[in-house]
Structure 1
């Protein structure tokens, strides 16, 4: 998701995305008919080649009740190792050290057979064996929704024609800390299933760890939960990861859709549905994320999900983040296409404003950063950022905050 760190002037800048459509050539002549046949064959070949690249041979496949297929792929044959910088990479199964103040429970090590503290529907029909990782299978319709096999799973900025006229914007409600070197962060985020108005709009709750300037050169590590029909084909809440090394221009992608991120956990699948959801005025569900740069090891950025060593971004993927991060953010983001010249009804978080408080508004708690002294501590001198508080807002309490909103309402036309 687009990173809102740094200067506020970017908040008014139009965020541009790519929407490509395949058009059939009219079959009014033999010549046109032959051209059309060739075009479709070429398109289908590209799709099949991309599917072969994305879907590695499975040692076991599990059909999820929600329609996903989870492939259990040999950990040594995962997509990460298609990256030219990782051809001779040696997999690390856990960080070599942890920051001061972090308590590590050996029972939650990735080598353990303990149940993950996150529920995904595919777990009902089986588990992946040791030595494999679960990967959500990419289907032909996933690539066709992207409009181009090459664009699938990537973010393309600055590429929508006439975006100024279309008025496409990204809107945020988040908490940010800057002004130090950062080697990681921790957060517990509330799990909801927000409504999205259009298939090309998304709603996300996530963290960002970043270094650099988005207008020049930006590295980010991101993860969280999202509803994004255009990417996943439904309106369920799904787990995601993302990274970029060049301000979203050419590098990086969602989940494992391009080589780079090395997964080591065999219990959790990125891109898969996360359930159950929080219930308004009732039971609340959360998901914990923890990121740490293993500075005493290879400098890799490790991601823990629900207290499990999920995997890592090798330091060699990055230029600026190979050293440290310069900012950390937590919060929500939505895309607003302004269909019918009105604000979107896409919800952020629970779809309710933070003023409604516990059990009703979405929240982040257990906020911590790993500072320049590699000490785990609470946020200091953090500040909130909102693009349109009448549509989505945030209330900060220091070590936790409430955020979100319904989008279009009488004060947000």
Structure 2
């Protein structure tokens, strides 16, 4: 046998190596061969040009299936509408998105900004009818999260608008004391500086019902800069909801079964472009949230009459009927890096007194009444959790003004952190 011959004629190390090669060679077959059904090997001719052409066709096909990353690095997947995360919910399984509801009376979308406001769509990319664009969540996204179990959710916290907000600081204008069936605002978009991964800065609307305890129901929409959630510092269009004060229900965007998207061109969670610039062009997004009088679901509209989708009424307890408060304003997370107040900005990062083009703003504030009418705000109040850091003012035109100044304890100098007009 070959193996015994090796061991007798050669040194042990060389013989072992040679025998291994001899034994391995007995199992080697031609590279381009395949087994026939009778078990015999048949050689196949390798044709490089044909293989290259096949590879080219495959890549072209994949390019059509897998949308390329947008300029901000997002990958947007076109998902069949009835397979989006919302339809994982037991009460939605087997269903399809609902038809558009009746708009609130007095709503005139003409003259508003266009719907093409996201980086991924600026190159002409879109999803076909019957699908919805969903920002792909990656392993890196989840690894950045402070808690994998709570990925896509706001942290549990006290939600009273006072100094016990557990690191979340607000400056808001609000109305209360009536029954509200929706809200509308145009929100100025900026790219505020966020000082570390575990903080965020946002401007949004809140539609609220219930107490500021464990039964709080909210619907939220606006823009947000969140390095932890998105991995960058781009302002992103976002939605949120909760029915138990951010404890176990609700999430951002489409990261859980809840919000039903109906639009094939707007990707919730994708970056907004363009943004406002200091002493330059100003850009805002117009958002409308209202309760469908017929089915009771809460719908979201963006800009020029474009429906984004809806929150089914069964998700909520108190909001199944109406809201008891509407808020407009900003929120940041203050993690007190190095033991001092954060330098994370809200809005434009400049004082309200600097005026239009330099300060951030909310405009065209309205609410929806019991008869599905859009009406101006009355009795707008303002509140800041930390008035020594975040100050808010309301002006007669209905524009909400936020003015923020923070004292840097280390250098005893004043650092401008936020200003929203």
1:103 maps to which residue? 108
1:97-246 mapped onto 2 (5 Å cutoff): 97-103=102-108, 116-124=115-123, 126-158=125-157, 168-246=166-244
Correspondence for 2:331: 333
Conservation of the 8 A alpha-carbon contact between 2:97 and 2:261 = no
Q: Which residue of 1 aligns with 2:272?
A: 274
TM-score computed with the length of structure 2 as normaliser: 0.76
- CA shift in 2, pair 1:237/1:281, >3 Å: same
Partner residue in 1 for 2:9:
none
What's the CA shift string for 1:132-171, capped at 9, x where partnerless? Answer: 1100000001111114443210123159xxxx9x995211
Report what 2:295 is aligned to. 298
| CA contact 1:218–1:244 (8 Å) conserved in 2 | yes
The CA distance in 2 between the partners of 1:148 and 1:216, in whole Å, is 21
Asked whether the equivalents of residues 348 and 407 of structure 1 are also in contact (C-alpha less than 8 Å), the reply is no
1:347 aligns to what?
Answer: 345
Residues 279/312 of structure 1: CA separation in 2 closer, same or farther (3 Å cut): same
- Greater CA deviation, 401-410 or 380-389? 401-410
Does the alignment pair 1:93 with 2:90?
no
CA contact (8 A) 2:157 2:246 kept: no
Structure 1 residue aligned with 2:35: none
CA contact (8 A) 2:157 2:166 kept: no
Moved more, 82-91 or 184-193: 82-91
SS of equivalent residue, structure 2 residue 123: helix
* Aligned match of 2:88: 82
- Structure 1 Cα separation of the partners of residues 238 and 320 of structure 2: 22
Structure 1 gap segments, 5+ residues each: 1-57, 109-113
CA distance in 2, matches of 1:317, 1:202: 26
Question: CA RMSD for the aligned pairs?
Answer: 2.5
Q: Distance in 1 between matches of 2:67 and 2:307?
A: 23
SS at match of 2:325: strand
Shift of 1:186: 0.5
- Structure 1 position 89, deviation (Å): 3.2
Kindly provide the CA deviation profile for residues 206-225 of structure 1, in whole angstroms up to 9, marking residues without a partner as x: 00001001213111000110
2:378 corresponding residue in structure 1:
380
- Shifted more, 143-152 versus 285-294: the winner is 143-152
Please give the alpha-carbon distance, in whole angstroms, between the structure 2 residues aligned to 1:204 and 1:407.
Answer: 18
Measured in 1, the distance between the counterparts of 2:66 and 2:315 equals 30
- In structure 1, C-alpha distance between the alignment counterparts of 2:122 and 2:99, rounded to whole Å: 22
**Paired residues, what number?**
343
User: Could you tell me whether the CA contact under 8 Å between 2:192 and 2:349 is conserved in 1?
Assistant: yes
Give how far 1:126 is off: 1.7
Q: Classify 1:147/1:172 alpha carbon distance in 2 versus 1 (closer, same or farther; 3 Å).
A: closer
Mapped partners of 1:411, 1:115: distance in 2: 39
1:66: how far off?
A: 1.4
In 1: Cα distance, 2:311 partner to 2:235 partner: 24
Instruction: Find the partner of 2:320 among 319, 322, 329.
Output: 322
Larger radius of gyration: 2
CA distance in 2, matches of 1:192, 1:220: 24
Tell me how far apart the structure 1 counterparts of residues 77 and 155 of structure 2 sit (CA, whole Å).
Answer: 28
Aligned-partner Cα distance in 2 for 1:322–1:158: 24
- CA separation of 1:73 and 1:206: change in aligned 2, threshold 3 A: same
Structure 1 counterpart SS, 2:68: strand
SS of 1:141 mapped into structure 2: helix
Unaligned 5+ residue runs, structure 2?
1-63, 417-421
* Cα offset, 1:400, TM superposition: 1.2
Query: What is the TM-score when the length of structure 1 is the normalising length?
Result: 0.78
Identify the residue that residue 77 of structure 2 maps to in structure 1: 71
Q: Is the 8 A contact 2:81 2:132 kept in 1?
A: yes
